[in-house]
Amino acid sequence: MKGNDDPHLNGIIRHVRLYIQQRDGVSLVLTARPDQEERNAPACDALLEGSERRYAIEHTRLDTYEREGLDQARFIRVLDPLHWSFWGRLDDDLQIAVPVHAIPSGCNWRIITSKIEEYILGTAWRSLPLDESTRVSLDGVPFPLEVRRTNHGPGGSLFIRRVVSNDRDQRVEAYRTLQGNAVKFCQFNGYRIVLVVESDQVAITSRELLFQEFARAATSDNTQPYDDILLIRTGAAPWCIVPLKVGDIQSECVPYWPAAPGYPPQLW
């Protein structure tokens, strides 16, 4: 946001700087924050400079569907705590899928949580056929559950996910995200242009399909003027960067970063 110090964005820029330093074997310094300094003109978010190379960094968000932020906030508050409270405590793995925007306004969210918790603690789901999805309706829960039991044995866990049904909208949004940021870089001649696309999605069943669609968009002929396109995933620890385009290298050739598990996700 122009004129404001954003700790979250600061963390992303630092994460990207560390990644580029390791990838390209350079030492970089943050020299400017044009988007904060040039309030009356389109500008990128950061300039990184080294002795031999310069990088212009632009950050944007990739939203999968309309009002994603509101839906995710409700999911984290109402359903995500169940995922963690039952982790490793079930006889079998239990997967529950709900539609996006399933949690409505104007109702008691605690009742929804408690009713689903009662179902998990009960015995009904334990007799469901293995590896088959079953639609379940619960009193007090204003949306259906798609329930699937898999035979994991003692120490099984609960997995709750949201379902996005319209893959076409995801493809359109991926291309729109790329095209909507191109105008900001026309003034940065001599800089390597890096687009950083943030996805903070939590528990989306079609998330990997979305990333595949975005990778196709990122390696298409319509991605000028970008030299690099990086997808940074901040929805869970540790944060990681998925390089989708690095020069002429396509995403399949470039690994995730950081590769080591447990990399600290804090915002520096």
CB crowding 84-116: b at 16 or more within 10 Å, else e:
eebeeebebbbbbbbebbbbeeeeeeeebbeeb
pTM value? 0.61
Q: Using pLDDT thresholds of 50, 70 and 90, give the confidence band for residue 268.
A: very low
Report which listed range, 51-55, 230-234, 244-248, is most confident.
51-55
pLDDT at residue 193 in the model: 87
Arithmetic mean of pLDDT, 219-224: 58
Beta strands in the chain (DSSP E): 29-32, 46-49, 54-61, 93-99, 133-136, 145-150, 158-163, 192-199, 228-233, 240-246, 249-250
**Residue 69: its pLDDT value, please?**
77
**How confident is the model at residue 89, as a pLDDT?**
86
- Residue that the structure tokens 């409270």 belong to: 85
- Counting DSSP H helices and E strands in the chain, the numbers are 7, 11
Q: Is residue 249 over pLDDT 60?
A: no
Q: What is the pLDDT of residues 174-221, one digit of tens each?
A: 555 555 555 455 556 788 988 888 877 665 555 555 556 666 665 665
Report pLDDT digits (tens) over 34-78.
888 766 666 788 999 999 899 999 888 776 667 777 888 898 899
Please report which confidence band the pLDDT of residue 159 belongs to, taking 50, 70 and 90 as the band edges. Answer: confident
The model's pLDDT over 71-113, given as tens digits with 9 standing for 90+, comes to 888 988 999 889 888 888 888 889 999 988 899 988 899 999 9
Please name each of the domains of the chain with its CATH number. Answer: 7-64+166-253 (3.40.1350), 68-163 (no CATH)
